[in-house]
Structure 1
Amino acid sequence: MKKITWLLLLVLLTATIHLPAQRKADRKTLENLQAHITYLASDKLEGRRTGSPGEELAAGYIAGQMKQAGLAPKGDNGYLQTFTVWEGRETGEASQLTINDASFAAGEQFVPLPFSAEKPAKGDVLPAVKEPDNIWLIDVQDMELNPHAPATDKYLEKAKEAAENHASGVIFFNGKEDIGAVRQWLREKPAPLSIPAVWVNRDVSRKLDGDNASGFRISMQVAFQQGKRTGTNVIGYIDNGAPNTIILGAHYDHLGYGEDHNSLAKGEKAIHNGADDNASGTAALLELGRMLKNGRFKNNNFILAAFSGEELGLFGSKYFTAHAPVDLERVNFMINMDMVGRLDAAKGLQVGGIGTSPSWTPLLRESAEDMQMHFDSSGVGPSDHTSFYRQQIPVLFLFTGTHADYHKPTDDADKINYDGELSVIKLVYRLIEKANKQDKLMFLPTKETQVSSARFTVTLGIMPDYTYSKGGVRVDGISDGKPAQKAGLAAGDVIMQLGKQPVSNLETYMQALAAFKKGDKTTVTVQRGTQQQTFNIQF
């Protein structure tokens, strides 16, 4: 009896000592989370757009925190791993537009249209007079634009008409589009016309539309160049001399001022601070790195990877898997934390990828404690874990849900549920603790979910390669039982045409898809290697 009493006293004493220590550790983590997110989501970083000075500041901060935690650098240049984001065509530096004695900025005040010829034109132009062998001025307000068709269709029609009537060039003015939208048109790759064609902004339009304009001496030159920018992953490493490695990841890039047209806000451009998306996941990554470096889990090595380019289409994580600093065949599993800062206890945590290994369900049940979770088996989705699933690595995707501030300037640090994020971090830590006692997890392929949109009533059933920019849409994966699989499409095919609609990029692919309804039959033309093949499909 005395022995039992002493044992109970020892247990109680141990618990009494442990609880204050745990509370102290939790307070430290909460303070760090607030510091990380407050900085990463500050206006100083201007939304952390990939390739921007704000992204560079964020990468420097993350690398500094990894170094302070004792993580070893595992990038190409210290902690940093740089990659190129190819963005199709953009206005070339040789492009010029001069009206009388005023010169205008290429890409800012005027933009070549995607079907323009790369050549010069000049002339003395009278308003409203369209002469052969001279530049035509076309007032967009006089054009009947179809709201249900791409605006470029009407622009192309009018430019063709000008070329057929021997115009030497064409300038479109008074267009209602903003300059950013017109720049996006350059991602299309229609056949070029025989004459140069440009769109001009409001400032230039006012000059061309002036009541006192008697004539213009115009000189124009159109040139294109390949658009690109440099993104940066930040990679830290904990080397335990183990045979396998666990990868923890989170993207740290966001939308900047919304220049890439992925903002859901309306009105004037503003900084999108991205506190939840995804300063929250990045902060969790940094704290887990610190905890694991000081922890006792030695049966695996650990990579902590902060990805950029996620908002543009998983560029950073896809580059990482193609240029991995460790052997991917020795990767145990990957956990992706994307938007983990708005946990609602009643709604719970969303966990994707549990079907990618038979070990996930029991591990999550053992680690959950009192956290409510909702599961999805698919290993793919609109975040960086998809890049690792494609390499046959078990993945988990942790997400606390969307909200009214998603992809808006209002996603700020003061709206983060820091206690909720701490509970997500603890879940990941417990999960690693239990997985650390097991052998390398077995990979299982899953049935892939298709990202849907209210615009579509049908799906082809492909996972597009968001990083492909050479014309068409390259297939990165095929969903089981969907029209693409039934028709015989395969990963690596490049979709060039859907029905009668040519496909030059994701935007034109979605436009083509939106024209069909369930039961419709059509064809899809793909480039497979050096050959084009056409398949019959039914939605």
Structure 2
Amino acid sequence: MKHIACLLALLLPFTTQLYAQKKADRKTLGNLQTHITFLASDKLEGRRTGTPGELLAAEYIASQMKLAGLTPAGDSGFLQVFPVSEGRIIASSSFLHVNKLTLRAGEQFIPLPFSAQKHVKGDVLADVNEPDNIWLFNVKDFEMSPHADPLEIYRQNAREAAKAGATGVIFYNGTETEEEVKKWMSLSVAPLTIPVMWVNSEMSKVLDDAEDLLIDMRVDFAADRRTGINVVGHIDNKAPHTIVIGAHFDHLGYGEDHNSMAPNDKTIHHGADDNASGTAALLELARQLKASHLQNYNYLFVAFSGEELGLFGSKYFTDHSAVPAASFNYMINMDMIGRLDPAKGLEVGGIGTSPEWPALLKQSVPADIRTTYDSSGTGPSDHTSFYLKNVPVLFFFTGTHSDYHKPSDEATKINYEGELAVMKVVYTLVEKTNDMGKLAFTKTRDKQTRTNTRFTVTLGIMPDYTWQKPGVRVDGVSDNKPASKAGVLTNDVIVELGTHTIVNLEDYMQALASFKKGDKTTVKVRREDAEKVFDIQF
């Protein structure tokens, strides 16, 4: 009995500790499910940036940060408001009447971004373009190169029509969809002197069949000022350096920003994995670290918005943080960590951004979690904004799946035990750095953004995803890549790549897809008020 009593005495602390850990895990699992279920609920309508659903999500996150004992570190309490765009929308005063038909703005007709804001009216004969009248252009008659920019073709034809005396222009039988044309509205283009409209395929048939047309058209634009909200909580341990833990909480709403993988499904995109999962882990890590003895660093917990639109929230935060960015030790980003699959495992990016990461990760990741690593500090998520400020980063991701950017990304499909396992890796990593001081930063190769376009070469630049004007602004240049060798600099705006006109990021990706390793071409950039052309070789 004495020996048994001694054995029990030895086992009791271990058993008590094991029970306490299981109890803590049960609480964390319950909290994760509560957070994700709320954030992915219909009530939040997909958490699209700039909507009431985003605000509801931000208020919930702020309330959880307050409950965990964090200090507000936004501009207004926990909240930090940032601009997303200063674009334009079709004003309600715009109209197009064709004979007795009144067309629907944004669907049957869309003003083009270079249109003048004017009202014109005229009796128009089909196929007859007269001075002092409205001109109709059948786009089927244009000889357009497959690489041509249709918006530029429209602008050139409308400009020539204005010079020839046209009072207005309507383009019909274009191959673009309404959604593609609406994207052009965000471009900043110098206006012409006449109103210019595009009509869809339905109205193109009307113009094809008509001989005499009474057209009454008016173009007016209204400002589209859109803002987003970051949520920022702070644990101030009076330490010299700060660890940033982040996750974006915005999603796609009803797919209004044309980033859905189910474009014909205008229902709520729930975004449980993308990225209610990372947001829930952020809140639980905040609660755990606030209660811990890991106090050799300060901690910032940031829930970003605007990520789905192009890293708007994280880019703004790195430029406007209440805690100086110079004090940031490293940043951990959790984006889509709710679908851990033993066959695919965990993906960790950014391990090349500090020489300390490989050894730390080897100590922190359990052997039973299959893990793949990527060295790059850049990519299609918010850690990129920190890497570009020379902050070491890590990116945790459990992989894409068939529900990605679809309404079917729901809370019932989350692997909560798997998410808890990822959280434990992050916590262990933070724990192991507690006595290490400031980590060294190293530059890495660049990594392109998510895109449907396939390409085999890179220019070696990091685009500014928040750029709203024509062209692609260079946010960073990778050493020893074609751009740096040619002389392209940060803040240059790429406007041409070879024969391709670059209006937006998608144009840039399409242009890259046309080249292969070894090809030689030119890149034209706008640098301040001048244009420069460089020879490059991929």
**Shorter-chain TM-score above 0.5:** yes
Q: Residue 436 of structure 1 aligns to which amino acid in structure 2? A: N
CA distance in 2, matches of 1:441, 1:11: 40
CA distance in 2, matches of 1:317, 1:282: 14
Match status 1:122 vs 2:97: no
Distance change in 2, residues 1:396/1:47 (3 Å): same
Q: Are the counterparts in 2 of residues 86 and 226 from structure 1 also a CA contact under 8 Å?
A: no
Aligned equivalent of 1:307, options 300, 304, 307: 304
Gaps of 5+ in 2: none
Q: Give the equivalent residue in structure 2 for 1:328.
A: 325
CA distance in 1, matches of 2:7, 2:525: 72
Aligned equivalent of 1:412, options 401, 406, 410: 410
Match status 1:51 vs 2:44: no
Q: Residue 443 of structure 1 aligns to which amino acid in structure 2? A: F
Match status 1:298 vs 2:295: yes
3-state DSSP of counterpart to 2:226: strand
Q: Are the counterparts in 1 of residues 187 and 468 from structure 2 also a CA contact under 8 Å?
A: no
Report matched runs for 1:341-352 at 5 Å: 341-352=338-349
CA distance in 2, matches of 1:70, 1:533: 53
Q: Give the equivalent residue in structure 2 for 1:68.
A: 67
Q: Give the equivalent residue in structure 2 for 1:18.
A: 17
CA distance in 1, matches of 2:13, 2:191: 77
Match status 1:379 vs 2:377: yes
3-state DSSP of counterpart to 2:58: helix
Distance change in 2, residues 1:5/1:403 (3 Å): same
3-state DSSP of counterpart to 1:186: helix
Q: CA deviation at 1:98?
A: 4.1
Q: Give the equivalent residue in structure 2 for 1:252.
A: 249
Q: CA deviation at 1:146?
A: 6.7
Report matched runs for 1:38-117 at 5 Å: 38-86=37-85, 88-92=87-91, 95-99=94-98, 106-107=105-106, 109-117=108-116
Q: Residue 51 of structure 1 aligns to which amino acid in structure 2? A: G
TM-score (norm 2): 0.90
Distance change in 2, residues 1:209/1:54 (3 Å): farther
Aligned equivalent of 2:391, options 371, 393, 411: 393
Q: CA deviation at 1:173?
A: 4.5
Match status 1:437 vs 2:435: yes
Distance change in 2, residues 1:8/1:331 (3 Å): farther
Q: CA deviation at 1:209?
A: 6.8
Q: CA deviation at 1:5?
A: 9.4
What CA deviation, in whole Å up to 9, does each residue of 1:496-515 have, x standing for no partner?
Answer: 22223332322332343334
* Aligned residues: CA RMSD: 2.9
CA distance in 2, matches of 1:117, 1:498: 30
Q: Are the counterparts in 1 of residues 149 and 501 from structure 2 also a CA contact under 8 Å?
A: no
Q: CA deviation at 1:356?
A: 1.4
Distance change in 2, residues 1:443/1:149 (3 Å): same
CA distance in 2, matches of 1:537, 1:175: 34
Gaps of 5+ in 1: none
Q: Give the equivalent residue in structure 2 for 1:357.
A: 354
CA distance in 1, matches of 2:297, 2:142: 65
- Between 1:99-108 and 1:464-473, the stretch displaced more is 99-108
CA distance in 2, matches of 1:148, 1:267: 27
CA distance in 2, matches of 1:514, 1:73: 45
Q: Are the counterparts in 1 of residues 187 and 469 from structure 2 also a CA contact under 8 Å?
A: no
What CA deviation, in whole Å up to 9, does each residue of 1:493-538 have, x standing for no partner?
Answer: 1112222333232233234333433333222122223432221112
Q: CA deviation at 1:270?
A: 2.4
Report matched runs for 1:198-277 at 5 Å: 198-201=197-200, 216-224=213-221, 227-277=224-274
Q: Are the counterparts in 2 of residues 449 and 479 from structure 1 also a CA contact under 8 Å?
A: no
Report matched runs for 1:140-179 at 5 Å: 149-152=148-151, 155-156=154-155, 159=158, 162-163=161-162, 166-173=165-172, 177-179=176-178
What CA deviation, in whole Å up to 9, does each residue of 1:114-157 have, x standing for no partner?
Answer: 34334332113355654432223455677787766554466456
Residue identity over aligned pairs, in percent, reads: 61
3-state DSSP of counterpart to 2:165: coil
Distance change in 2, residues 1:163/1:511 (3 Å): farther
CA distance in 2, matches of 1:530, 1:137: 36
Distance change in 2, residues 1:427/1:517 (3 Å): closer
Q: Give the equivalent residue in structure 2 for 1:31.
A: 30
Q: Give the equivalent residue in structure 1 for 2:528.
A: 529
Q: Are the counterparts in 2 of residues 170 and 198 from structure 1 also a CA contact under 8 Å?
A: yes
3-state DSSP of counterpart to 2:483: helix
What CA deviation, in whole Å up to 9, does each residue of 1:195-231 have, x standing for no partner?
Answer: 32112356766776787xx855433232445543100
CA distance in 2, matches of 1:51, 1:287: 25
- Between 1:4-13 and 1:114-123, the stretch displaced more is 4-13
CA distance in 1, matches of 2:155, 2:513: 21
3-state DSSP of counterpart to 1:14: helix
CA distance in 1, matches of 2:350, 2:195: 50
Q: Give the equivalent residue in structure 2 for 1:424.
A: 422
Match status 1:465 vs 2:464: yes
CA distance in 1, matches of 2:245, 2:127: 62
CA distance in 2, matches of 1:160, 1:330: 53
